[in-house]
Structure 1
Amino acid sequence: MGTVDVSLIKPELVFFDIDAEDADDLFAQLGARLDERGYIKDTWYDAVREREAAYPTGLACESIQVAIPHVDPEHIGRPYIAVVRPAKPVPFTHMAGLDVPVNAELVINLGLLAHAEDQVAVLQALMNIFMDDAKVEELRRQTTEEGMAETLARLCVEAAE
């Protein structure tokens, strides 16, 4: 498996306080925060909504329900991995096309410039984490932006080994 650039996981990209009714609302709030920090281009919001509609990213794992939305590199200002633990679970469409919503407790938004190879490494690492009850519990225990960023970065490194 490839390596994950964990330098892209930063406390300034961890958000615990987003209270969203649906994925579009979450994207609007996240987009505003990413934009003010210089991570995305003006086309990001429409692009992430269109991509999510065409290729849903909701994933119901045994331990946690997650979503891993992303966009093509031309909508990214500088690379990032944003982590959102919303105030309440946000419904996403199931990536397998199932007619049951995935109520995402955690949303990992990938903003990667070297699309294919970097994305595969990150997705593989995240899947290894989300399939492990103990690792999911470690993420759930985090209460600070710093703790979440450090824990997710460490777990990604471990998962890629």
Structure 2
Amino acid sequence: MSAIETDLLKPELVFFDFEATDRIDFFTKLGEKLKEGGYVKDSWLDAILEREKNYPTGLECTSISVALPHVDPQHLNKPYIAIIKPKNPIEFDGMADTGLVNAQLIVNLGLLAHEEGQVAVLQAFLGIFIDDAASADIMAQTTPQGMVDTVIKYCAE
């Protein structure tokens, strides 16, 4: 059983060729989309920017560079997992002071779980992204439903 709640993976939360000039622009535009869907509160943007500053989420894996930003539950209206494949990589600070990471894929977690639950989900996604074949399969997806189905497939393994 996966730590990832696969019912939170929805085509409406998958964004391809997402245009953003930098991390702040990225979070601003993503926040607007999430707010339109009723997922986040007005406090979300400031909260995620502050959390990202204090706890960077960029990660260089062998075949993919990812970022796994998340925010505390009080800034959410309902839980979600958004998957974003930006048009151009977006620069994130690396986890544990590992330097800058040009994220090719961003998985934004909006979970109602407590810290332990968030850690379990992060670990599950990391397990997927350290698998070169799984990462390649995910990056090869071109439709929102295809992305959802592919991530769910690897969650089940």
Q: TM-score, normalised by structure 2?
A: 0.96
Q: Secondary structure at the match of 2:83?
A: strand
Following TM superposition, where does structure 1 have runs of at least 4 consecutive aligned residues deviating by more than 6 angstroms? none
Equivalent position of 1:120 in the other structure:
119
Q: Any unmatched runs of 5+ in structure 1?
A: none
SS of 1:45's partner is helix
What count of residue pairs does the alignment treat as equivalent? 157
**Mapped contact 2:79–2:111 kept (Cα < 8 A):** yes
Contact in 1 for aligned 2:88/2:104 (Cα 8 Å):
yes
Contact 1:4 1:157 in 2 (8 A): no
What are the equivalent positions in structure 2 for 1:4-153 lying under 5 Å apart?
4-98=4-98, 100-153=99-152
| Shift of residue 56, structure 1, vs aligned partner | 0.4
Q: Is the 8 A contact 2:15 2:85 kept in 1?
A: yes
- The amino acid of 1:35's aligned partner reads K
Contact 2:2 2:156 in 1 (8 A): no
- Quote the RMSD (CA, aligned, Å): 1.2
- Report deviation, 1:2: 5.8
| Separation in structure 2 between the aligned mates of residue 123 and residue 51 of structure 1, nearest angstrom | 15
Give the partner amino acid of 1:127: L
Task: Decide which moves more: 15-24 or 133-142.
Answer: 15-24
State the Cα deviation string for residues 64-115 of structure 1 (Å, max 9, x = none). Answer: 00000000000011000000000000000011213x3100000000000012
Aligned partner letter, 1:120: V
How far apart in 1 are the matches of 2:153 and 2:142? 16
Q: Does structure 2 retain, via aligned residues, the 8 Å contact 1:2–1:121? A: no
Question: Structure 1 length as normaliser, TM-score?
Answer: 0.93
Query: Where do 5+ consecutive residues of structure 2 fail to align?
Result: none
Identity among equivalent pairs (%): 54
1:9: how far off? 0.6
Structure with a larger share of its residues in strand: 2
Contact 1:73–1:113 under 8 Å retained in 2: yes
Counterpart residue type for residue 108 of structure 1: V
* d(CA) in 2 for partners of 1:145, 1:26: 19
> Could you tell me how far 1:121 is from its partner in structure 2?
2.3
8 Å CA contact 1:6, 1:153 repeated in 2: yes
